[in-house]
Amino acid sequence: MLDWKNAEAPDTGAIEEMAREAIAALPPEFAGPAAQVVLRVEDFAGDEFLDELQIDDPLELTGLYDGVPMTEKSASEPQHFPDTVWLFRRAILDEWASRGDVTLGQLVAHVVVHEFAHHFGWSDEDIATIDRWWE
């Protein structure tokens, strides 16, 4: 049994390791393109993301895809910044603690897959049609 009195919350490196395992587990047709996306793990989303998304509480945002979806990329309009998937450690830990029905690894994998789905061109509505995670 885990000694919770002496346990420490996973740091950004541990969350990144879980995320990289989830990326490695993607089917081959997705794993290759996913490897071209920058993965960043921070404690909280920055004010610019929160303001853009009109989110007041940084604990409400567990992840974010920042880029141009593959379905919208154009050779005639090159992108001048890398596609990036952001994970926000403190929001993920808060979600995990409040849910209590999934492992941290499962939650991190879910957030990773959701954000990469946006990279592959899926909207939140598209994802919701097959992903009943939040029900």
Mind listing the pLDDT tens digit for each residue in 90-122?
999 999 999 988 999 999 999 999 899 888 887
What would the DSSP string read from start to end of 25-74?
A: TS-HHHHHHHTTSEEEEESS--HHHHHHHT-S-GGG--EEEES--GGG-B
Taking 80 as the threshold, does the pLDDT of residue 21 lie above it? yes
Question: For domain 12-130, is the CATH number 3.30.2010.20?
Answer: yes
Most confident of the following: 6-10, 11-15, 25-29, 123-127: 11-15
Give residue limits of the domains in the chain.
Answer: 12-130
Q: CA–CA separation, 127 vs 113, rounded Å?
A: 10
* pLDDT for 32: 87
Q: How confident is the model at residue 133 (pLDDT cuts 50, 70, 90)?
A: low
**Distance between CA 19 and CA 49 in Å, rounded?**
20
- Tell me the three state secondary structure of residue 81: coil
Q: What is the pTM of this model?
A: 0.87
Mean pLDDT value of segment 35-60: 96
